[in-house]
Amino acid sequence: MEKRMLKDDNDRVDGILKVTGQAKYFAEYELPGLTYGVLVTSTITKGRITALNTKDAEKAPGVIAVISHLNKPSATAYEQEGGPQMKIFYTDRIFYNGQPIAIVVANTFERATYAASLVKATYAKEEFNTDFEKALKDPKAKKLQGQADYKRGEENAYKNAEVKLEERYFLPIETHNPMELHGIIADWRPNNQLTVYAKTQGVKATQGTIANVFKIPMENIQVNSEFVGGGFGMALRTWPLEIATVMASKHIGKPVKVVITRMKMFTMVGNRPAAIQTIGLGANKDGKLTGITHRAYGETSTYENFTEGVVNMAKFMYQCDNVNTSYAIVPVDLGVPIWMRGPGEATGAFALESAIDEMAHALGMDPLDFRIKNDPETDQQKNKPFSSKNIKEAYKIGAEKIGWNNRKNEPGSLVEGPWQTGYGVSVGVFNANRGKASVKGTLKADGSLLLQSATSDIGPGTGTGMTLIANRLMKIPVNKITFELGDSSLPPAPSQGGSATLSTVGSAVNDVCVALKSAIAELAANSNMDATANFVDVLKKNNLPQIEITKESQGGKEKDNYSMYSFSIHFVQVKVHSLTGVVKVSKIVSVGDSGTIVSPKTARSQMLGGAVGGIGMALTEESIIDHRYGRYINNNFADYHVPVNADVPEIDVNFINKPDPYINPMGAKGMGEIALIGFSAAVANAVFNATGKRIRTLPITPDKILA
């Protein structure tokens, strides 16, 4: 593959491949004898399938098989007791509208699509509820603890504060909607050998899940996922539709490809769950926080629980001796949610950072001053120092760049014709993690370095970051370094999630490079060469075509001694039209405080993407359900509004770029999540500053401004 066409060392290593169509995504693999699967979905929301007529579908042209719970092909784990409730094709139960109930496999996609429309299910319907707010109000509806209650100091101390507020915030369901549709190609061959081409954030996780369900050895399964057209969290698990495809391939003995439609992206691959949150804040008149209470309810499914870190941030972000949190999940008859970029923290930050702004207003303080005044020196939750934290510096940079001094503390002060201008700020924070990963390094006598690890790249530029780490350590030009990923046969690495890939896999790259260097140094010494001799000369002198080292790498005790987080500050300027209620984000300044920036271009791109996602969360994105039917109403790209170019102003991205001394050898902390976390609150705060209207329900659409 020709991918060495970099203009400079910081360019994406796969940029040319991507923009010229040479990057091959899962759906583009053509296997001999490939067949096509289309999923039939339930049209009721809850109940049982009493009959399934597949005869017409089976007789339709080109159809090879129709698979459902009637002929459940063997999946050993599903046949055993326990396991997930929603066992695809192993249950006649319907848990939500749009649940896959059968797969039709045919020799063309069009024929499979048509035949799928001929499968007719008869149901015994049961009463259902897809309305999260209704479930929350219903005393009989289940509420499950999602996280242990937290208390520091006095509970609900805000109630007795000199200045207090208690407000409720609502976030609707959001759907990830990456550009690339989900699906998989499965090729089950004799002797239980399986190859899949997947869209996954973790090739090892996919391999493990399939091995578990079908009870075949991991090594029988080859998972390929070199390029992924966006994940945002939805590809962090192996979905029932993927198991269905593997089942189908096993059943017919031929490779099967499934690519779901955009509509099915709303029902088969998760979403960001709706959440209702109450924040109570108390402060003294001088502007010191005296109490924080954060209570959250998140949506989950009836067949599987999903929890996320909605209330995490309240526990440590601000200096406050009295903090309590609670988080419960509420099952409704919908498909199970999954992490969506910035997962629970983005949900929580919308509420907390809105409330902080509201408190600043109640105190008559500049919200930036209020934040600075309550900025903690140490982590009060963990009772540990932060490994690194440069929030105050970030505030200063951002304030200067956005022109914060043009802001008036009195809302509605900046008016030009029908347009009102406002400024808002918010903080984002996410755990800075380092997991365990292995990387194999092969240093070759032709001067090149090959690095391999079963990690993923859902878009952030994993290969570019890893190449740059090696480039700096080994002094090998980037065009001589190749980083291979997305292949389950490579040394293991965790899934790409939680902003940890650069920290985790990058550390292993670091360790492999260090080991390769000392191996070369040792070889040099043994062959009477200078310790600084070039590795090419050393290898040649020793008649070695290459040397290989595999290193497993993980963090140590530093995690016990320090509290590690990445931070971001988002500043936005908005313009709100007083007659039409239209909100335009007119200026964005994001400042990332995430340690060393290893790969400046892709890091900036991450922040750009986070801001765009943040505009969507703040202003446009909402998955709408008609609760009478339990069906989505706007399940397409025309009606589910992600921001378009015209919604996005120039985004000024800044980094503190100071190494974290403890987290990992690079001093680099993750930033995929913080790019988004908090952004929606910055917009809501700016809207308030522009208009005096506090919108606590996202997205902030024109009707809410006019209300």
Partner 1 sequence: MINFQYLRTTTAKSAIALLVKDKNAKFLAGGTNLIDLMKRGVTAPEKLIDINHVPLKQIEQIGNKIHIGALASNSAVADHPLIKEKLPLLSWALQAGASAQLRNVATVGGNMMQRTRCGYFYDIEMPCNKRQPGTGCGAIEGFNRMHAIFGTSEQCIAVHPSDMCVALVALDAEVVLANAKGERKISFKDFHRLAGDTPQLDNNLKVDEMIIRLEIPVNNLAKNYHYLKVRDRASYAFALVSVAAALEISNNKIIDVRLAMGGVAHKPWRLTASENFLKGKEAILSNFEQAAQLAMQDAKGFGGNDFKLKLAPNTIIEALNLAKSKA
Residues lying near partner 1 in the complex (CB under 8 A):
43, 110-111, 113-114, 117, 418, 577, 579-582, 584, 619-620, 624, 626, 628-629, 631, 633-634, 636, 638-639, 641, 643-647, 701-703, 706-707
User: Closest separation between CB of residue 705 and partner 1, Å?
Assistant: 9
Would you call 166 a catalytic residue per the annotation?
no
Beta bridge partners of 144: 329
Per the listing, tokens 């993927």 go with 242
Determine the angle formed by the axes of helices 462-474 and 600-615, rounding to 10 degrees: 160
Helix, strand, coil % in the chain, rounded to nearest 5: 30, 25, 45
Handedness of CA 15, 17, 20, 24 (dihedral sign): negative
> Which residue in the list 180, 345, 358, 673 is annotated as catalytic?
673
User: Closest separation between CB of residue 620 and partner 1, Å?
Assistant: 5
Per the listing, tokens 């050393």 go with 538
Per the listing, tokens 């599987």 go with 304
Q: Phi and psi (nearest 5°) for 527?
A: -110, 25
User: 165's torsion region: left (phi>0), alpha (psi -120 to 50) or beta?
Assistant: beta
Distance CA 166, CA 159 (A): 9
Helices marked H in 193-239: 203-214
Distance CA 236, CA 202 (A): 7
Report the candidate in 236, 126, 90, 222 with the shortest Cα–Cα distance to residue 176: 236
Separation in Å, CA 604 to CA 10, 123, 509, 591, 651:
11, 51, 22, 10, 10
Q: Which two tokens stand for residue 507?
A: 């550390």
Determine the angle formed by the axes of helices 600-615 and 679-691, rounding to 10 degrees: 50
Q: Which residues of 270-304 are buried (b: 16+ CB within 10 A; e: fewer)?
A: bbbbbbbbbbbbbbeeebbbbbbbbbbbbbbbbbe
- HSE toward the beta carbon, residue 280, CA cutoff 13 A: 17
Per the listing, tokens 């790019």 go with 675
What amino acid positions are annotated as catalytic residues? Answer: 673
